[in-house]
Amino acid sequence: MRRRHTVTRLLAAAVLTLPLAVSAAPATAAPAAASTRQLGDVIPAPVETRPDPRGTFVLSPLTVIRTTPGSAAARQVGRQLADTLRPATGYPLPVLPVPFTPLPEIALLLGGADARVGQQGYQLDVTRRGVTIRANTAAGLFAGTQTLRQLLPAQIEAPQRQRTTWTVPGGRIVDHPRFAYRGAMLDLARHFHTVDEIKTYVDLLSQYKINYLHLHLSDDQGWRIQIDSWPLLTTVGGGPGTGVDGVGPGFLTKADYKAVVAYAAARHITIIPEIDMPGHTNAAQSTYAELNCDKVATPPRTDTAVGYSSLCIHDELTYRFVEDVIRELAEITPGPYLHIGGDEAHATSDEDYRTFVQRVLPLVSKYGKRAYGWNEIMKADPATDAVAQYWGTGTTNADLAEAAARGNKVVMSPANKAYLDMKYDRDTPLGLSWAAYIEVRTAYDWDPATRVAGVGEDAILGVEAPLWSETLRSIDDIEYMAFPRLPAIAELGWSTAASHDWESFRTRLGEQAPRWRLQDVNFYPSPQVPWV
């Protein structure tokens, strides 16, 4: 909340002072301080960078943001860029959907980009006269504006008292992602996180070109999404006393969820809901006795044990429940995926697990969504459109390799590399350590396409960085675990394998610190990184 309030207030202040800013500031900016930022100093590393030292652009009070005429989507990206740049600069930066202006400009144009940019990439040209971002989609334009944000001085991240020269290094970037899917996951079940906290996380994710946010909405300790046909799930299963140690209560109403979906969509992030089953279901089974084979409600649980709960596999009521939940979730989820969990079902026999998964995945398809689950679902030989999320720590997994050979896609989240809830080292005050200690270099130094034997580049949809919340309560806690490792996973998902370079990455990461300080991001100052 704190950050949002500040930004809103300052934005309002900036708008009120616009005429003043225009008349008071000289049309030509102060002599350009030599920019130490290079065109490629961006996370994730761009595909192709051609610096042109003669092309430095300086943002001025006369700069306009010009967008493709007739495109509401381009105009929206332009407005968001203006919202980002106005508080610090105090410049008016009007957004003009016109074919031409004689003024210095940042142009956001649909079409005309290098053919390689595809559906998510962009081309960014910086000359003395302006910046031009070209893309085939609004998502591509948005990605280009996130690169531009990092090319501006770090001071762009907060209102400034001192005068700053807003230089952008000259040249051309052609950029597009290695993988279509670059995700993050937030666990709302162990400790609930509010809509404002989720929005803050979305803001941060979008700066690193993450395009999916997976929400873990149910677990043994809590149920966090309103389901009208089973109303006690939230009021009891997500009510007072739920969560780890009983201190993580709360839930998203459908209106909350829709607000999160819309907020994320405006930042080109698609929400993926997860309801974990057939295990990790104690919150539901302690709320509704009929979901248990013996028809006795289980006690609520606030500890962090895993693997003890299971829905009743041979009871038709179970599938009415599951279908109700999937139907209601699908209705409020515009994105293509619906995640059914499927991990650590140790209280379900292998045969029952297969029976369950084979009944439930088609229900996801029935409501128009693509089935997605933790890698265990591949034990049930699902249809090839089902997606598996690999969370293992090993480099072999026969079920996954067979699924990949059949054509199933895989999202890579190896727990000993990509889990943001693992401690950095033994002294980290938050987090767990069952999979590994994960310092920044460990999070960065792996290749999604060579991680698991038989699961190569073609089988991989992308990468995801899960953040489990057993030990995490506040947005400060979330930020401490996600930064600086989230940008490492973001780079693995976006940048080419050939560009992978720890020395380059850690230098660029160190340069992010002033931005995080100005945005009030509570990051872990890893000793592996030369922080600026």
Which CB, 259 or 306, lies closer to ligand TNX? 306
Q: Write phi, then psi, for 462 (nearest 5 degrees).
A: 170, -160
Which CB, 203 or 343, lies closer to ligand TNX? 343
Active site (annotated) includes residue 157: no
Which CB, 374 or 505, lies closer to ligand TNX? 374
CA angle 187, 189, 191 (to 5 degrees): 85
Partnered with residue 109 across adjacent β-strands are 134
CB atoms within 10 A of CB 231: 11
- Candidate list 48, 323, 344, 402, residue with the active-site label: 344
Which CB, 157 or 421, lies closer to ligand TNX? 421
Which CB, 131 or 185, lies closer to ligand TNX? 185
Which CB, 232 or 306, lies closer to ligand TNX? 306
C-alpha–C-alpha distance, residues 423 and 400, integer Å: 27
Q: How far is the CB of 220 from ligand TNX (least distance, A)?
A: 8
CB atoms within 10 A of CB 492: 28
Q: How far is the CB of 263 from ligand TNX (least distance, A)?
A: 25
Partnered with residue 166 across adjacent β-strands are 59
Q: How far is the CB of 418 from ligand TNX (least distance, A)?
A: 10
Q: How far is the CB of 248 from ligand TNX (least distance, A)?
A: 13
Work out whether strand 64-67 and strand 122-127 pair parallel, antiparallel, or are unpaired: unpaired
Which CB, 14 or 340, lies closer to ligand TNX? 340
Kindly list the residues in this chain that would bind ligand TNX in the complex (CB under 6 A).
Answer: 306, 343-344, 374, 391, 415, 419, 421, 432, 468, 470
Q: How far is the CB of 327 from ligand TNX (least distance, A)?
A: 24
Residues 6+ away with beta carbon under 8 Å from 8: none
130-136 contacts: CB < 8 A, separation 24 or more?
130/57, 130/63, 130/104, 130/105, 130/106, 131/57, 131/105, 131/106, 131/107, 131/168, 132/106, 132/107, 133/106, 133/107, 133/108, 133/109, 134/109, 134/110, 135/109, 135/110, 136/110, 136/111
Which CB, 42 or 386, lies closer to ligand TNX? 386
By CB atoms closer than 10 A (0-12, 13-18, 19+), residue 125 is buried
C-alpha–C-alpha distance, residues 125 and 457, integer Å: 30
Residue type, 114: D
Buried b / exposed e over 257-290, threshold 16 CB at 10 Å, is: beebbebbebbbbbbbbbbbbbbbbbbbbbbbee
Q: How far is the CB of 422 from ligand TNX (least distance, A)?
A: 7
CB 220 within 8 A of CB 282: yes
Q: How far is the CB of 417 from ligand TNX (least distance, A)?
A: 13
Partnered with residue 135 across adjacent β-strands are 110
Q: How far is the CB of 424 from ligand TNX (least distance, A)?
A: 14
C-alpha–C-alpha distance, residues 55 and 84, integer Å: 23
Residue type, 212: Y
Tokens of 333: 């989820």
Read out DSSP for 87-140? Answer: HHH-----EE--S--SS-EEEEEES---GGGTTT-EEEEEETTEEEEEESSHHH
C-alpha–C-alpha distance, residues 269 and 201, integer Å: 11
Could you give the 3-state DSSP secondary structure of residue 232? helix
Q: How far is the CB of 190 from ligand TNX (least distance, A)?
A: 7
Which CB, 421 or 491, lies closer to ligand TNX? 421
Active site residues per annotation: 344
